[in-house]
A = this chain, B = another copy of it.
Amino acid sequence: MKISALLTSAGINIGLCVLFLSLYSILRKQPANIRVYFGRRIAEEHSLLREAFILERFVPSAGWIVKALQCTEEELLAAAGLDAVVFNRMLVFSIRIFSLAALLCISIILPLNYFGQNIHHLQIHSEQLDIFTIGNVQVRSRWLWVHCIVLYIISGVACLLLYLEYRHIAKLRLIHLKRETPSLGQFTVLVRGIPKTTKESCSSDVDDFFTKYHASSYLFHQVVYKAGKVQKIMTSAKKACRKLEDFTVTMVDHIVLPNDEVVENRGEDDLNDSISNTDNNTDNEECAVAFVFFKTRYGALVASDVLQTSNPTKWVTDLAPEPNDVYWSKIWLPYNQLWIRQIATLLGSIVFMLLFLIPVAFIQGLSELEQLQQKLPFLNGLLTKPYMIQLVTGYLPSVILQIFLYSVAPIMMLFSTLEGPTSHSERKRSACCKVLYFMIWNLFFVNLVSGTVLKQLNFFSSPKEIPVQLARVIPGQATFLITYVLTSGWASLSSELMQLFALIWNFIRKYILRIKEDTEFVPSFPYHTEVPKVLLFGLLGFTCSVLAPLILPFLLVYFFLGYVVYRNQLLNVYRTRYDTGGLYWPIAHNTVIFSLVLTQIICLGVFGLKVSPVAAGFTIPLIILTLLFNQYCRKRLLPLFKTFPAQDLVDMDREDEQSGKMEHIHHQLHTAYCQFPDTEEMQLEKIRIAGNDKDDEERCSSGESNNKETCEEQQPRKDLSHPTLKGLPVNRLQNAIRSITFLIRLQKRGLS
């Protein structure tokens, strides 16, 4: 690729970006799209900003950019949680380090590479891109030590920045811990692997155990039921209710909601059967998991840290997730299953990653047209026209790859669900790791080292050759990487901002299907796809920095744009239902360290290829120093992301006790965790009736006021730990029964 071609491509992409941003700035001002672009604010601030028609709405503006940039870290923390801040810091770190890298590499390395060989230079715009890479430097060049020094500077500054960010986020995590609204999860321990004793019920076992061994701090407990039939009934009832509501509102206004009398119907018998079955089941199987509540945060911490009994798979204790973060549908899984599930999903992910080589190989086959024509002769007729050939070789491969790539995140999410996570945030974080490994493996290693599947396997079977191989490949692939940043990077940001799918779906629903607006559904930020994307671009930036610096300006634009776009999205579009408490940072840290070490190893290979023993020799201590730095961070900062410091918890406990808040918190704990909440509509109804300004206490998940999944506040909680269904709140069951029997009747009448 020539410089001119690159500039053309860049121009087109910039134009597209500007177009999309302008379009966005108009579309966001349309009241019809308000649910698409301001989902979070509507859901949380309850301000429906519908305005009349004014001209201003159709003029592009940059106000949103200013707003996104003006927002301080505290505001972001308050609006979108700690994870959003961590994600923001990843972008800030990337901008900082790649600004420096771009400055150094463009001003020093680029001229060195360009004049690296005594060849006749063409006019600048018609030069090949390869001439700007280290590949153009002469073998045994005296200037390679400059590359080595720049590598040292970039690595050193990256480590320094990384350390500062790590420390900053650790501090934020502690501040987050001490926030105003007390986190109820800190008082709660999730107990798994409760051993079965035949004599009594599980609930009294839990009571006995904690009364005996944690007498001073134990408060009470709550058993988790196996989310089998009960859960299914509740879920189907919920769905039925929602469908029903849409249905009634939009089309059949005259159908009256069924009332209690409907229960005396034909459906009743089946229903009673299923309930009595469930009754028997829960009797046997309630006893997998329980939430245990403690008087103090410190008590809960101690109970979660200590090995309870001489069988480490019994009475396994961990700090519980926050009430609105609990992943109810998997939390009841027996503890003994979990490690098998984890291993199975690990194997599954590896198989999936290897199977993905097949479409990649197929795509690479598409580029080699002759082979394709030989193997699939019926294509010959099709492939005679030149534009068809261009389409098949140039466009189709990346489309197919993108389609396959879109399947990665959901599949990894599925794997993470199968693992048996206890919380939504854990599930998303685990999926994030899987997607990250996948992208690094498939997009970086496999895609770069082009060739057939077998060739690739050979490549990875001789580890000593990897640096040399990568050193050969990376400079040559600079063109591909720059185009990747231009298309995939910039385009993904535009589409993220535009929310194309949501926009179209909103339009269809509103004007074609005419379904009532779904006020409840506001998506959470997809950390599991966006974090790996940002980190992958970071990896590309580091590995290319010294070798092919021309990529850096384009990357920098990506990070700047990403900074604005993601901040805007976090503030306006996505709702934060749950938070990992900054646990995405260790992932980012490890990935950056991996990127740095990989860069250094590749440079080692390049210096070896260019026969520069001094530069190669000086790179080895750099690798060791980077690894030592990582080890230091593991010792110094990582423990803070795994547990909480006792000192802070004890201080908080004392403060709360002295200010008399503790009583209030203990009261809240009684209604915090409810496995079978009311259906959302019923509850919304209740809230509407009760008025929006009612006390927070009445909501079930009082720790987070932005959560709607509440439950009965006055219901006697002790019942929940009883092994039969009797303890379930009566009106909730009645609701379910009512909805189901109504649905059955509808079906029989042929209405649905």
Q: Which residues of A contact B (CB under 8 A)?
A: 170, 174, 212-213, 216, 301-302, 305-313, 339, 343, 461-464, 628, 631-632, 635-640, 643-648, 650
Contact = CB atoms under 8 A, between A and B. Distances in A.
A650 B463 contact: no
Contact of A174 (B310, B339, B462, B628): B310
A306 B301 contact: yes
3 tightest A-B CB contacts, nearest first: A312-B639, A461-B464, A306-B646
A650 B637 CA distance: 32
A170 B313 CA distance: 14
Contacts of A305: 302, 305-306
A175 to B, nearest CB: 11
A212 B647 CA distance: 9
Given A302-B302, A339-B632, A461-B464, A213 B310 contact: no
A632 B637 CA distance: 30
A339 B628 CA distance: 10
Given A339-B631, A631-B343, A635-B339, A645 B310 contact: yes
A63 B674 CA distance: 72
Contacts of A635: 312-313, 339
The secondary-structure label for the interface of chain A is helix
Contacts of A462: 461-462, 464
Nearest to A310: B645
Contact of A647 (B310, B464, B638, B639): B310
B647 A309 contact: yes
B640 A312 contact: yes
7 contacts: A212-B650, A213-B646, A216-B216, A311-B636, A312-B638, A343-B628, A461-B463
Contacts of A301: 306
B170 A640 contact: no
B636 A313 contact: yes
B312 A637 contact: yes
Residue from A174, A343, A646, A648 whose CB has the most chain B CB atoms within 10 Å: A646
A43 to B, nearest CB: 34
A302 B317 CA distance: 14
Nearest to A335: B635
Nearest to A648: B310
A312 B647 CA distance: 12
A201 B639 CA distance: 28
Contacts of A646: 213, 306-309
B645 A308 contact: yes
Among A174, A212, A312, A650, which residue has the most Cβ atoms of chain B within 10 A?
A312
Nearest to A627: B343
Nearest to A212: B650
Contact of A307 (B170, B313, B643): B643
B306 A213 contact: no
A213 B650 contact: yes
Contacts of A631: 339, 343
A419 to B, nearest CB: 15
Contacts of A639: 307, 312
A474 B497 CA distance: 62
A174 B632 CA distance: 35
A466 to B, nearest CB: 11
Contacts of A644: 307
A174 to B, nearest CB: 6
Contacts of A645: 307-310
Given A170-B310, A305-B305, A312-B640, 15 more contacts: A174-B310, A213-B646, A216-B216, A301-B306, A302-B305, A305-B306, A307-B640, A307-B646, A309-B647, A309-B648, A312-B638, A312-B639, A339-B631, A462-B464, A463-B463
Contacts of A343: 628, 631
A303 B639 CA distance: 16
Contacts of A648: 309-310
A640 B309 CA distance: 9
Residue among A305, A308, A628, A648 with max Cβ neighbours from chain B (10 Å): A305
A628 B646 CA distance: 36
Nearest to A347: B624
A612 B643 CA distance: 52
A302 B306 contact: yes
Given A302-B302, A312-B635, A213 B463 contact: no
A697 to B, nearest CB: 31
A455 to B, nearest CB: 14
A312 B339 CA distance: 29
A608 to B, nearest CB: 15
A474 to B, nearest CB: 22
Contacts of A650: 212-213
A189 to B, nearest CB: 13
Nearest to A315: B647
